[in-house]
Amino acid sequence: MFKLLFIADPLETFKVYKDSSLAMMNAAHQAGHQIFHAKAQTLSSSSLGITARCELLQIDKKLDPWFSICSSQELPLYQFDAVIMRQDPPFHVEYLANTWLLSQAERQGAFILNSPTGLREHSEKIAILEFPEYISPTIITRCVEEIKNFHQQYLDIVIKPLDGMGGMGVFRVGPDGLNLGSIVETLGEYGKRSLMAQKYLHEIQDGDKRLLLINGKAVPHVLARVPQKGDIRGNLAAGGVGQARPLSEKEKQIAEHLGPILIKRGLFLVGLDIIGSSLTEINVTSPTGFVEISAQTGFDVAKFWLEQLELTLMDK
């Protein structure tokens, strides 16, 4: 039996019918492991080391609420067999501060997934630049003129902030260039913030696909998040509809290339976003899609995650 701590958002905010963190917790609880929860805001430094307010849970998804708290106490993170960092984005200054605290906890003996160094090093949007052979034309800049030149070259582009999530702040600018200057000025706060511009991929109409890598290995199905009529965003939070599909050969190729690289960096759970055959994001903070893929295919993603975690912990 392992002692597992999940650092996550408040339990009351979990969407029971689709929450991936809950799916992980439930799988581990059913297997007999001890499940603890801590809010990210409770991370702190004390004479005990890096600690958090840790709640020992009993879980029953049939009940409302689905959890009961057996005990709550301040505990050092090194006392757990694994600390599962599942704080939702956005990646802001407080998130960054938490990764610094978690790095100190690692130095004290804690085992943390995903690695705080990996979380810091992998901006979910910028990280794709390491793999140019898999991405569509992309620039990151604060300069309005550079984005205008990029638009003139590709005519149909998407512009988004680097710290957005769930499709927030994503704009498409077509060949007429309507509102391009206004969009860039508003999103970029007149040159204060960097923006990402990418060639618009018409394959988005077939879905923005989420490919899950667990311990460097691909889940055998992607979750294609298909935009609804009148929207370019496939994100489920923006109204997209999730459809599970077997991996294509190109998706397998991307997974086989990136998987070993990312796991060496302590990125145990990663969500690759792929439109058509192009890699668009590498999500490392709190990837989702477990429940939808499991429900539609019968492949138990949470069970696979747990098996890989158990193997990792036994090999330590």
State yes or no: pLDDT of 236 exceeds 60.
no
**Domain membership flag for residue 57:** yes
pLDDT attached to residue 271: 98
Do residue 195 and residue 231 come from a single domain?
no
pLDDT attached to residue 227: 80
**Domain membership flag for residue 222:** yes
Dihedrals φ, ψ of 11, to 5°?
Answer: -60, -35
**Domain membership flag for residue 153:** yes
**Domain membership flag for residue 118:** no
CATH number at residue 188: 3.30.1490.20
Q: How confident is the model at residue 268 (pLDDT cuts 50, 70, 90)?
A: very high
pLDDT attached to residue 316: 81
Angle ∠(247,250,255) on CA atoms, nearest 5: 70
**Domain membership flag for residue 99:** yes
pLDDT attached to residue 165: 74
CATH number at residue 226: 3.30.470.20
CATH number at residue 63: 3.40.50.20
- The whole-number average pLDDT for the span 183-201 is 93
Do residue 13 and residue 106 come from a single domain?
yes
Tokens of 210: 């989420």
- The whole-number average pLDDT for the span 19-34 is 98
**Domain membership flag for residue 123:** no
- The whole-number average pLDDT for the span 73-86 is 98
The domain boundary, picked from 165, 180, 200, lies at 200
The rounded mean pLDDT for the chain is 94
Q: Which residues are catalytic?
A: 125, 160, 210, 225, 233, 273, 281, 283
Higher per-residue confidence, 51 vs 241: 51
The C-alpha atoms of residue 258 and residue 44 are separated, in whole angstroms, by 34
Contacts with 242 (C-beta within 8 Å, 6 or more apart), sequence order: 223, 224, 225, 226, 236, 289, 292, 296
Domain limits for position 51? 3-113
Do residue 185 and residue 84 come from a single domain?
no
**Number of structural domains the chain divides into:** 3
pLDDT attached to residue 230: 58
